[in-house]
């Protein structure tokens, strides 16, 4: 069979399972199988495909037809113009999260001028390491602790740290935010964030009761533990802010949020930081102009 004939066959299979943009998805799977760019795939439409590659293509089409995300099929996802290894141990990085990196880079530039030293950052729930690594690739003046309570996530993060050449700036560490437990950095983290200038996180924020309503691509394949924000979706925000408020020096917190929770986040901020003389809260829009992140500065 030719490249084009196979892509059309894959399109039919995906279309029957109501996969959006089935031709494009099938073509991307062919691109992966042939190890070619999409332009090279188009040019080779009339070429015959080896039997081994036909079998691989059909297996991958079957996986995608069962709603397995393309990123897990190819173990790769682009984020902030970088390629990241992803496995089912980590959430797939989304473009909307890039606004956290943008905001962090602005803060690093501001703080670097004032502090005249390296900026220390704690990335809570690092997953694939996409946020931490993207920051480090765009700033030499940082030391980032990429923290997670999943060894599978930390293994993925380590691969991505090495692949992107940021070993000197990004340190993967085990850390359980809810228990404030770390076997690796007890001297750096002792029930507060005093040793860090910036706290950044894309924490779990989906209400437990909403998990069943997620699309099959998400609920059947992505780690629900990394999505479950508790009954009200605010469990991790409460813990992060409870810990942050204990710190003595000026700090910046940048967190991804559900835009529907803006008023609750504002209330939490007012409650937790009521005794701080200096405090400010700003909401940040994503690529779709939705409030996707919150930045809190205090001291």
CATH assignment at residue 208: 3.40.50.150
Residues 264, 236 contacting (CB under 8 angstroms):
no
In this prediction, residue 184 carries a pLDDT of 58
- Cβ neighbours of 278 (radius 10 Å): 9
Mean pLDDT across the chain, nearest whole number? 94
- Domain assignment present for residue 25? The answer is yes
Residues 158, 187 contacting (CB under 8 angstroms):
no
Q: How many angstroms separate the CA atoms of 126 and 68, rounded?
A: 22
In this prediction, residue 277 carries a pLDDT of 84
Are 218 and 285 members of one domain? yes
Task: Encode pLDDT of 149-176 as tens digits.
Answer: 999 999 999 999 999 999 999 999 998 8
Q: How many angstroms separate the CA atoms of 78 and 255, rounded?
A: 21
In this prediction, residue 128 carries a pLDDT of 98
**Phi, psi values for residue 217, rounded to 5°:** -55, -35
- Domain assignment present for residue 197? The answer is yes
Burial class (CB in 10 A: 0-12, 13-18, 19+), 130: buried
Are 102 and 249 members of one domain? yes
Task: Encode pLDDT of 9-23 as tens digits.
Answer: 999 999 999 999 999
- Domain assignment present for residue 242? The answer is yes
Q: How many angstroms separate the CA atoms of 190 and 185, rounded?
A: 9
Q: Per-residue confidence at 183, pLDDT binned at 50, 70, 90?
A: low
Could you list the residue range(s) of the whole structural domain that residue 123 is in? 95-298
Mean pLDDT of 119-141: 97
Last residue of a domain, one of 21, 46, 66: 66
Mean pLDDT of 281-286: 95
Provide the 8-state DSSP code for 2: B
**Is the pLDDT score of 77 beyond 70?**
yes
Are 257 and 147 members of one domain? yes
Mean pLDDT of 218-243: 95
| pTM of model > 0.85 | yes
**Is the pLDDT score of 190 beyond 60?**
no
Residues 188, 194 contacting (CB under 8 angstroms):
no
Are 168 and 116 members of one domain? yes
- Which of 237-251, 255-269, 281-295 is least confident? 237-251
Tokens of 24: 């494009």
Q: Where is 255: in which H helix or E strand? A: strand 251-256
Q: Per-residue confidence at 179, pLDDT binned at 50, 70, 90?
A: confident
Last residue of a domain, one of 49, 66, 83: 66
Q: How many angstroms separate the CA atoms of 69 and 19, rounded?
A: 11
Are 239 and 126 members of one domain? yes
Are 236 and 187 members of one domain? yes
Q: pLDDT > 70: what percent of the chain?
A: 96
Are 155 and 207 members of one domain? yes
Q: Which long-range contacts (CB under 8 A, 24 or more apart) does 153-156 make?
A: 153/89, 153/90, 153/126, 153/127, 153/128, 153/226, 154/126, 155/89, 156/85, 156/86, 156/87, 156/89, 156/90, 156/127, 156/128, 156/129
Q: How many angstroms separate the CA atoms of 14 and 105, rounded?
A: 40
SS3 for 174? Answer: strand
Give the count of domains, the chain: 2
- Which of 61-70, 108-117, 202-211, 260-269 is least confident? 108-117
93: left (phi over 0), alpha (psi -120 to 50) or beta: beta
Q: Per-residue confidence at 116, pLDDT binned at 50, 70, 90?
A: confident
In this prediction, residue 239 carries a pLDDT of 94
Task: Encode pLDDT of 31-69 as tens digits.
Answer: 999 999 999 999 999 999 999 999 999 999 999 999 999
- Domain assignment present for residue 162? The answer is yes
DSSP secondary structure, 204-230, as one string: --B-GGGGGGS-HHHHTTS-GGGTB--
Using CA atoms of 176, 241, 160, 287 in order, give the dihedral in degrees to the nearest 10. 140
- Domain assignment present for residue 15? The answer is yes
Q: Per-residue confidence at 178, pLDDT binned at 50, 70, 90?
A: confident
């Amino acid at each position: 069979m030719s490249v084009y004939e196979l892509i059309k066959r894959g399109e039919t299979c995906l279309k029957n399972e109501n996969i959006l943009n089935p031709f494009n998805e099938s073509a991307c799977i062919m691109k992966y199988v042939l190890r070619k760019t999409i332009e090279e795939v188009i040019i080779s439409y009339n070429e015959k495909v080896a039997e081994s590659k036909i079998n691989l293509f059909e297996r991958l089409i079957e996986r995608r037809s069962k709603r397995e995300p393309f990123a897990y099929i190819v173990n790769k996802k682009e984020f902030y113009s970088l390629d990241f290894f992803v496995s089912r141990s980590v959430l797939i990085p989304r473009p909307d999260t890039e606004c956290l990196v943008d905001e962090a880079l602005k803060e690093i530039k501001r703080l670097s001028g004032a502090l005249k030293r390296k900026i220390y950052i704690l990335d809570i729930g690092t997953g694939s390491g996409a946020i931490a690594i993207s920051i480090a690739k765009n700033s030499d003046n940082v030391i980032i602790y990429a923290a997670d309570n999943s060894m599978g996530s930390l293994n993925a993060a380590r691969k991505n740290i090495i692949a992107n050449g940021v070993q000197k700036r990004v340190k993967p560490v085990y850390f359980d935010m809810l228990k404030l437990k770390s076997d690796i950095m007890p001297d750096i983290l002792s029930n507060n964030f005093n040793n860090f200038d910036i706290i950044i996180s894309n924490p779990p924020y989906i209400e437990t009761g909403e998990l069943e309503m997620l699309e099959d691509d998400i609920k059947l394949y992505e780690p629900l533990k990394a999505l479950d924000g508790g009954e009200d979706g605010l469990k991790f925000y409460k813990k992060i802010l409870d810990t942050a408020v204990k710190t003595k020096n000026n700090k910046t917190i940048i967190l991804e949020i559900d835009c529907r929770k803006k008023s609750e986040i504002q209330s939490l901020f007012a409650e937790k930081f009521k005794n701080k003389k200096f405090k400010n809260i700003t909401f940040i829009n994503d690529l779709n102009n939705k409030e996707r992140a919150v930045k809190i500065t205090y001291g």
